[in-house]
Chain A
Amino acid sequence: MTLRQDALYASYRRLERPLYNVLYRQLWQTEDCQDVIHDAYVRVWERRDKVEEVTLDALVWTTALNLARNRLRWRKLRRHEPLDDALSAETVTEDFLATRRLHKALHQLPSVSRDVLLLAEFSGLRGTEIASVLGIPAGTVASRKHQAMERLKILLGDNVHA
């Protein structure tokens, strides 16, 4: 039961984009997202003797989300809240203020609900897999996602076109 390098790299190719999309909506900083994704894979690789390839993706998701939470906690201690200025110009059609509004709205959601919403949007994981990654009951995934979406619509008003 030893993880192979090619399996690790294949997982990276598979998950880099969804991981980046989820983590970006939590950290709002490109370099931090890159670091978290990299560190998550390095940590998994360090424990490769105990990792099975079938559970690799779930483990990477769990590790990356934990690392992102740690980074957010560290930022709170430092009263440091970066937001990429380049985002609006390069990759997003909305202006900076709209991004900032989205940032605030997501920040107001309960952290688990936000995670459920983002994972459901980007990860491609099923409800039970999301529940496993987040360590919550499988039956609550759908309701949490629904609540998060409703709350987000209220917070953002007419900006949501779901």
Chain B
Amino acid sequence: MRELESLLPDLVPPVGGLTRLQRSVQAGQRMRYPRRPAWWSLAAGTCALALLTLTWLPGFVAQHQRTAKLTRALMQSIAPALPADGIRVINGAALALPSAQANVRIYLVQSNPQSPQRTP
């Protein structure tokens, strides 16, 4: 006999609670142990990664080649043309300028101030 029986009568819970719990437990079991084995998802992931790489790699290589080609062209365009029979410049560049006299050659010489000067 409970002390507060008249005040707190014994209530009967609605039916179906255990069935609901059993359903949840079964659903949880299925989630925890999926039918497909773990290696399947690993293989699927690897395939997807390989496919992505194969799709992306040619584009990347082509882009890299284009960039290298452009860089080379730019370097060639800005590199100083060395006079074939003239002076040799170390740590700098020389540009042959037009001369009015046949026995006089004029060069515009630009030294590179960031490199140490060397005597040729």
Contact = CB atoms under 8 A, between A and B. Distances in A.
> Do these two chains really belong together in a complex?
yes
Interface of A: 5, 8-9, 12-13, 16-17, 20-21, 24-25, 30, 33-34, 37-38, 41-42, 45-46, 91-93, 102, 117-118, 121-122, 149, 152, 156, 159-162
Interface of B: 2-4, 6-14, 17-18, 20-22, 24-25, 28
A25 B78 CA distance: 88
A152 B3 CA distance: 12
A45 B28 contact: yes
7 contacts: A9-B22, A20-B11, A21-B10, A102-B8, A121-B2, A149-B3, A161-B6
Given A16-B17, A37-B17, A162-B3, A42 B8 contact: no
A46 B2 contact: no
Contact of A20 (B2, B13, B20): B13
Nearest to B32: A46
Given A12-B17, A38-B24, A162 B7 contact: yes
